[in-house]
Amino acid sequence: MTVSYDNSKVVFEAIKAAGVRSVSALPETWLGLLLQRAEDDPDVTLIQVAKEEEAIGIAAGAYFAGEPHILLMQNHGFLAAINGIVSLAQLYSIPLCMLIAYRGHFGEPYPWHTRGGIVTEEVLRALDIPYELARDPDQVARQVRWALTLSHSALTPVALLLTRELMED
């Protein structure tokens, strides 16, 4: 597996084009090149977390400060952050724009990713979190912008699942 350098750049540029200047994340293989770009860009603040649930609180703080924010995580991290999503973001109508590395789905060679991949969409639906799959680099800028817009207009978490087609070469 090789992470796509070009598509990582496309995703990062989409985040910047949407007006986002702060990103919270826990390092993950598919997100590595994207996080490196965020770390190297003087216009973007990268906040690395030890647990994905911390990123929920950071995103809430960014919202109350009026700063557009995006959370980057793997789908297992999303599953680990459900308490914060439900008991903070959903309960208090705080927008979260989550870009989630959609590991463990079709083509996944690593068994430790598969259980999370199998249930990710089901859990998103169960929590009434709107989501889309990002597969096409030509559509990512629109998808990021629209996800951020929906999260703020509906005051709710929204997820964009970064698929294997997008994140791998």
**Domains of the chain by range and CATH?**
5-162 (3.40.50.970)
SS3 content of the chain, % helix, strand, coil (to 5): 50, 20, 30
List CB contacts of 164: < 8 A, sequence separation 6 or more. Answer: 102, 105, 106, 107, 108
Q: Ramachandran region of residue 116, left (φ > 0), alpha (ψ -120 to 50) or beta?
A: alpha
Q: What is the DSSP string of 83-141?
A: HHIIIIIITTT--EEEEEE--SSTT---HHHHHHHHHHHHHHHHTT--EEEE--TTTHH
Name residue 80's amino acid: A
- The pLDDT tens digits along the chain (169 residues) read 799 999 999 999 999 999 999 999 998 899 999 999 999 999 999 999 999 999 999 999 999 999 999 999 999 999 999 999 999 999 999 999 999 999 988 888 887 888 888 999 999 999 999 999 999 999 999 999 999 999 999 999 999 999 999 999 9
Q: How many helices (H) and strands (E) does the chain have?
A: 8, 6
d(CA 102, CA 14): 18
What is the pTM (predicted TM-score) of this model? 0.95
